[in-house]
């Protein structure tokens, strides 16, 4: 499928790289980009086992939502724009495969929210993160007030959101917003290296582990443990489990089929 603002590369090993490409606006998210992301997720990921999301160019991952579009919205339109972004990001969050955000530059507002919808965030040393919406008279609208406190705690999240301050990659690493920071020229290589480590493992097990983490997060301890027990049991109905354990006992490399 042809996109106006996305570049999609299927790497042939089960990894897909999705680049948001709107250089004139530093990859800011407008309605068209959000709809293209939604379509891409629905149509482009067959056979994909790891998805890497990044921004096109050296300056920006996603600089935010498109202010030129938002400036003229009324309340119902603002609600619909926020709901569109939230729904697309929720689809990314609940994909049954690992999603890595390779944050190569500005990740502000909607860009920070997109990164947070991914499973893992790695950043260029030149990356900058922030939720500066209050300076525009709005609040984070693509689930930022939900995800940011979960990732870094309420205190840091409230500070970032109330002040609108922008933080550098090293600070994002310190507070747990990103997993690792690399030099710009290393970022995509490191993302691919992480993807390759994931590709060595059983796809069904990764899918069920992600489900257990995501769905168990908001449960109490008993509920989360019960969910894990259920999904742990499901692993033993898969061919991958048989292959993995047979390979281990036979001292050979496992060949997982995702079944």
In the three-class reduction of DSSP (H, G, I as helix; E, B as strand; rest coil), residue 82 is classed as: helix
The Cα-based distances of 150 to 70, 120, 145, 177 in angstroms read 27, 14, 9, 10
Contact status, residue 38 vs residue 72, Cβ threshold 8 Å: no
Contact status, residue 92 vs residue 99, Cβ threshold 8 Å: yes
Question: Is residue 133 annotated as part of the catalytic site, yes or no?
Answer: yes
Annotated catalytic residue: which of 44, 69, 80, 113?
113
- The token duo for 102 is 């390779």
Contact status, residue 226 vs residue 233, Cβ threshold 8 Å: no
Question: Is residue 185 annotated as part of the catalytic site, yes or no?
Answer: no
Annotated catalytic residue: which of 9, 36, 133, 243?
133
CA 96/CA 211 separation, integer angstroms: 8
Cβ within 8 Å of residue 151, ≥6 positions away: 116, 157, 176, 177
Indicate the helix (H) or strand (E) that contains 111. Answer: helix 110-117
Catalytic positions, written as ranges: 113, 133
């Amino acid at each position: 499928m042809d996109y106006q603002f996305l570049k999609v590369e299927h790497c042939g090993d089960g990894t897909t790289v999705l680049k948001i490409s709107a250089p004139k606006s530093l990859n800011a998210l407008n309605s068209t980009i959000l709809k293209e992301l939604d379509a891409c997720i629905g149509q482009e990921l067959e056979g994909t086992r790891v998805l890497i999301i990044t921004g096109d160019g050296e300056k920006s991952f996603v600089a935010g939502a498109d202010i030129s579009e938002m400036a003229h919205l009324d309340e119902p339109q603002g609600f619909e724009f926020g709901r569109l972004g939230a729904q697309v990001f929720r689809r990314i969050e609940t994909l049954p495969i690992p999603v890595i955000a390779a944050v190569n530059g500005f990740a502000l507002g909607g860009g920070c929210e997109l990164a947070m919808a991914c499973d893992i965030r790695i950043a260029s040393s030149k990356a900058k993160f922030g939720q500066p919406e209050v300076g525009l008279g709005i609040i984070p609208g693509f689930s930022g007030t939900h995800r940011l406190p979960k990732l870094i705690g309420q205190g840091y999240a409230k500070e970032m959101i109330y002040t609108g301050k922008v933080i550098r990659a090293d600070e994002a690493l310190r507070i747990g917003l990103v997993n690792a920071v690399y030099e710009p020229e290393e970022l995509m290589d490191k993302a691919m290296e992480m993807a390759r480590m994931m590709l060595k493992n059983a796809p069904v097990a990764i899918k069920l582990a992600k489900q257990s983490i995501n769905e168990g997060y908001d449960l109490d301890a008993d509920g989360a443990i019960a969910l894990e027990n259920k999904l742990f049991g499901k692993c033993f109905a898969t061919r991958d489990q048989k292959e993995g354990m047979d390979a281990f006992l036979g001292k050979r490399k496992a060949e997982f089929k995702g079944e």
